[in-house]
Each structure stands twice: as C-alpha cells, then as structure tokens.
Amino acid sequence: MIYLVREYIKYCLIAKNRHGIHSPFVYEFNDQCLRLPIPDYEFKIFKDLKKNFQKNNTSIDVTDLGAGSKKLKKQRKISEIAKISGSNDKYGKLLFRLVAHYQPKRVLELGTSLGIGTYMLAAGHENTHVTTVEGCKSTYEIARRTFPASQHAKVDFVNEGFISYLRNLKSQNPFDLVFIDGDHRSESLYNQLDLLQAFIHDETIIILDDIRWSKDMLMAWNHLVQNSDYHLTIDLFKMGVLIKRGHQEKEHFVVRY
C-alpha cells in the first residue's frame, strides 16, 4: 500500500492535462477519448453485472497461470474475485471510451476473469468483435454463462493460457486493440508482446493493466517506455498504453486520468 501511495504521488506531480500536451494524437486522446460520455444504459449493465458478482458467495477453484493474486487464495468466492480482479468503474469506463472513440473492429483481451471489463470492450462500438482469453476454466465458464445477452454474440470466449493461445494463433487480420490483464510477471508480459507482433499493425492500441501491480511490473513498464518498437507510450497510472506508430518521433506522456 505504501508503495502504491508513493507511486501515485509521483504520478500526480508529473501527470499533464490537455493544456500541457503538444502531441496532436495525445491531445485528442486526452480531450476527446478520455472525456467521452458513457451511455447510462451501458453503464447500468456494467454496474449490475459487477454488483451481482460482488454478492455471489459461491466458492470456486481458481487456477492461476500467472503471478496470481496477492490477496486471494486458490479457492475463492466469486464476490472476492469481483472486488479485487474485476475492472473498477473508472477503468471500465476507459475501456469503453477507447473502443467508442477509436472504433476497433478486432479486439483481443488476454485475461477475461469474470468478463466485467470484457463487457465494456464489447459495448463500446456496434462493429467491434472481441476475442477474450482466460486460462482458468472456472472463471471462463462463469464469464461465458453470465455475460449480458445484449453483447454476447460479439464475443468469442477462449479457455487457454495466453502464451499457448498466441503460439497457436493462425495468420489473420491484425487486432486493432489489445488489452493485456492477467499474468503480472515481466517475463510473461515480454513473451506475450513478442508473440503479438505478427498480429498487430502500426496503429494497434495495446493496453497494459496494473503496470504498478508490483515493482517487477513497473520495471517492465519502464523498460517498454524505452523500447524503440513503441514510438508512443502513455502512462495513466493503473494502465499503460503502447502504440508502434513508427512514422512519428518517439514520445512518452504521463496523462492525468
């Protein structure tokens, strides 16, 4: 907790609002994307889905293929998973806004959990199709069975480890947006990003969740900020954004959100 408080103070001291940003792309990202209104009916479905999970005291066996949770045991109540692992209101809105503004046709999510964030990705635009991958069979089944009917047809649920899924992925049209949320280890994150290179394009938006989840994850994020493969990186405190954008000068922004 002390570590996160320190990091948040540092973030607040250097984060810029739209008036301190000189990149046209990032100015638009800040001024338009981050300020998009969320339709009340979509946000209500999101809130109801999360609330129902938070009241569900059924225990399930959870298989952690990544670093696991700092606070949860292997056998967990669905309510505990929803409180700690699901997208919160602020960043659930961010997922919706990114899809609504940039209108990606093909979205990949690595880390379905209970499908709360998945819903906001799918609901963001009518022409968006989401492939969501979850390594844990129990949470995969819950997400697939309870996913809101209004968006279910736009989502492919896959029960497989992230690395296995990416290694077995066949040649296809690239993903326009990728959300990585599941395995909180730097080595695994690097492997996932390496395998993704064949399935993204120069403008693909890659969102990394929990970039300050641990010192290891923060180290990985700082390394990626310096990586010459990504010419645009944006720090939103909990989440980080990577985009290749090879046609522009390399830039990094810490944006207040």
- The per-residue pLDDT for range 71-107, each reduced to its tens digit, is 445 788 999 888 877 678 999 999 999 999 999 999 9
pLDDT score for 86: 65
Q: Is 120 helix (H, G, I), strand (E, B) or coil?
A: helix
Q: Are 189 and 208 in contact (CB under 8 A)?
A: yes
State yes or no: pLDDT of 4 exceeds 90. no
Average pLDDT over residues 174-201: 94
pLDDT score for 156: 98
Rounded Cα–Cα distance for residues 225 and 163 (Å): 22
Q: Which of 114, 112, 120 is nearest to 146 (CA)?
A: 114
Tokens of 185: 């280890």
More confident residue, 60 or 67: 60
State yes or no: pLDDT of 66 exceeds 80. no
pLDDT score for 71: 46
Rounded Cα–Cα distance for residues 170 and 166 (Å): 9
State yes or no: pLDDT of 136 exceeds 50. yes
Pairing mode, if any, of strands 175-180 and 129-134? unpaired
What residue numbers bound the domain in which 243 lies? 2-254
More confident residue, 226 or 170: 226
State yes or no: pLDDT of 70 exceeds 50. no
**% the chain with pLDDT above 90:** 77
pLDDT score for 65: 60
Rounded Cα–Cα distance for residues 39 and 108 (Å): 23
CA distances from 76 to 55, 61, 187, 212 (A): 13, 6, 26, 24
State yes or no: pLDDT of 68 exceeds 60. no
Kind and range of the H or E run holding 208: strand 200-208
Average pLDDT over residues 148-159: 97
Q: Position of tokens 């309510």? A: 79
Average pLDDT over residues 126-145: 96
**% the chain with pLDDT above 70:** 96
Looking at the structure of the chain, the number of domains it has is 1
Q: What is the pTM of this model?
A: 0.93
CATH classification at residue 34? 3.40.50.150
Q: Is 196 exposed, middle or buried (0-12, 13-18, 19+ CB in 10 A)?
A: buried
